[in-house]
Chains A and B, each alone.
Chain A
Amino acid sequence: MKMSPAIPQPVERENYLNKEYGVWSWLLTTDHKRIALLYLVSITFFFFIGGFFALLIRLELLTPAGDLVQADTYNKLFTMHGMIMVFFFLIPSIPAVLGNFLVPLMVGAKDLAFPRINLLSWYLYIIGGALMLHCVLTGGVDTGWTFYAPFSTSFTNTKIVEAGIAIFIAGFSSILTGLNFVVTIHRMRAPGMTWSRLPLFIWAHYATSIIQLLGTPVIAVTIVLVAAERALHLGIFDPKLGGDPLLFQHLFWFYSHPAVYIMILPAMGVITEIIACFARKRIFGYSFVAFSSIAIAVFGFLVWAHHMFVAGISVYSALVFSFLSYAVALPSAVKVFNWTATLYKGSIHYDAPMLYAFGFLGLFTMGGLTGLFLAALGIDVHVTDTYFVVAHFHYIMVGGAVMGYLGGMHFWWPKISGRLYPEGWARLAALIVFIGFNLTFFPQFVLGYMGMPRRYYDYSHMPEFQVLNVLSTAGSTVLGIGYLLPMVYFLWSMRYGKPASDNPWNAAGLEWKTTSPPPTFNFDEEPVVTWEAYNYDELDAPHPQEVPVAR
């Protein structure tokens, strides 16, 4: 037996973590907080698998010749990297972990509206994930994560149908999460929690849920058609048999473009909470930030064909989609300006979550502005299928969404685990992630603009690209270390971290008014809300000794 833990433990009060022990108390739980932790473990697992593929890709590109892997393996590497990262990490990341944990707490409910459906959604995710792993281990897919027809339906010999079923099932897990959030936000708010008092994290998740609910079914049915065409050699998308490959692209991007907003909107919600807390100010322009989330969800559904400018759609529809793609930049810019205005004359604290928030601001702005390059028809034709596009969407999906996810994990870790993480290490990790990210992806903007195509395993006919590729590969290693660090010290803090107080950041929001970690039904007494959101003018800044810093 272990004799003495590092810190003497006071008698812990009952909370969701220590109420019951044992495998079944976790696998059959309907507590949204435990399901959030189940998701946390599962998506972390898939994140490291997807990351492993990414490192192999970068390693191959270290030299111009195709020496580490051959073309077929390389195609599978980037395909499996994309599929796992998009469908099994990014889409569930913030909603299924932080959203699951925080939505009921923030609206003052005992649980999500449908706790059993919430558990079902995790099981669907696991079934889909297991199928995906089986698919990876028995040969994988080589079409790219977009599985464009007719290559996917008539030519490739890899496991399209199995990967399709895996994504189909994971899609329903995402739909059920969205359904639970919408109903919870509408029907489970505590007395006094009006729509205009909701944290903006909730608004962001509401907008995300709308996309999950209306977009995901479309890709589900598209996958059904791809599987049918492939299994029975029909001609739904194969032009040789009378089908229309453009129809596939329309249906695919109708979901997969809004899917980007499934990744970035929740991150925006996280960043809003963090910036208000660490600038100690009410958020600037609450209703503008709230409705810009809804506007992004709505506009996001109207821009999909900007992925198809070179695919042969009519010039006139391309013009309209180009214009609409510019339009979606407006609500995004509204958010960035409001965050900046919140920082203005704020009393800013540079704790780890805030460092991630600053990282997000810069990287998301870069990603968003280069998105405007791609929305412009002329430039898009020039850089289509180059590393410019790769760099752009990684700035949004990794620089934006993953920074938001990590920032949120740090911000709410004291609430989730009841322990403080080591602040010094956390600041170091945030710095490493920021540097590693830029070192990895900034050279790719340059590479792409110079004309290096994406998805090439061998660039020996253009060896002048090697320097930038070496920089990018070096950056990916730094980034990998930056991602490993938080996992290590979070695990460490669960045992050795200082116990957290109920509200270590002195943050506004209902989730900080219950204990850390919260009891199973979240609040000992039903909360009644009588204050406005982000009332930081009424809250003191956290006292230095209470700040979760292990100095």
Chain B
Amino acid sequence: MPDSTLVGLHHEEEHHPELLHHFATAEQQRDAASLGMWVFLGTEVMFFGGLFCAYLVYRHWYFPDFAAASKSIDATMGATNTAVLICSSLTVVLALWAAQTARRTLLIGSLILTMLLGVTFLGIKGKEYKDKFEEHHVPGASFSFSGVPVPGHPGQYANPRHAQIFFTLYFVMTGLHALHMIIGLGIFSWLLTMAWKGRFTPEYHTPIEIGGLYWHFVDIIWIYLFPLLYLIDRHP
């Protein structure tokens, strides 16, 4: 890195080491990367969109069963996870600001904190999955959901078959979300390595920007999943 500090700023603009051969300017490269991530997030919206569509149909058909099944998930853990992810969004923004203003320690610290929050989320999610497994609420051969009352309707019990559809959607949706979190952790450990080597400068920090976009997107998916899955017809 000593070389780049010796070269003049103008020269560095034109021959930035991170500028790929097929781009004319660093700005074009950043614009392309950023647009690419936005477009990719558009496809992700459609990817989850199919599931949200299925969710809507069955929630409309089997509302009492969905309410009963939803009540069996631990809303406190879900709420904690929501808070964890919102905090991680803050640390991502901090990391970006740190890169823009050349604060290396803050940058590395924020990236590590983001990853820790991500791991915390996955840990809590794992605990929820374990509870569901022990309660035989995982869809499949050992699924059982008999004798569970429908909230607000005394004497009415949920249809296990319909509740199983809820749990299928619960596991597929949160499972895909968790998979995205794991991929996010992979991206952030790569960002951390790059930051550790001092590759990010106020002029070049596109990877943090687009990695951050991805992270925020995964957070937003959870912001929708939490009320839709945990808070159906819940009353104090």
Contacts and interface: CB of A to CB of B under 8 A. Distances in A.
B74 interface: no
Contact of A232 (B28, B35, B62, B139): B139
A526 B24 contact: yes
Contacts of A76: none
Contacts of B49: 217-218
B161 interface: yes
Given A113-B32, A218-B49, A179 B159 contact: no
Interface string B197-213: 00000000000000000
B141 A233 contact: yes
B39 A182 contact: yes
Nearest to B140: A232
Interface residues of A, number: 41
A243 B43 contact: no
Interface stretch (A219-227, A473-481, A502-510): A219-227
A220 B22 contact: no
A247 B53 CA distance: 9
A235 B54 CA distance: 12
B46 interface: yes
A222 B24 contact: no
Interface string A240-257: 011110010011001000
Interface stretch (A183-191, A373-381, A420-428): A183-191
Interface in B20-45: 21-22, 24, 28, 31-32, 35-36, 39-40, 42-44
Interface string A202-237: 000000000001111110111011001100111110
A236 B43 contact: no
Contacts, number: 106
A243 B165 contact: yes
A183 B21 contact: no
Interface residues of chain B: helix, strand, loop or mixed (majority): helix
Interface in A137-159: none
B174 interface: no
Interface residues of chain A: helix, strand, loop or mixed (majority): helix
Contact of A221 (B22, B47, B57): B47
A392 interface: no
B2 interface: no
A179 B40 contact: yes
Contacts of B168: 228-229, 232, 234-236
Given A110-B22, A179-B36, A236 B54 contact: yes
Interface of A: 109-111, 113-115, 175, 179, 182-183, 186-188, 213-218, 220-222, 224-225, 228-229, 232-236, 241-244, 247, 250-251, 254, 521, 526
Interface of B: 21-22, 24, 28, 31-32, 35-36, 39-40, 42-44, 46-51, 53-54, 57-58, 61-62, 139-141, 159, 161-162, 164-165, 168, 172, 176
6 contacts: A111-B22, A113-B22, A213-B42, A218-B47, A232-B141, A236-B54
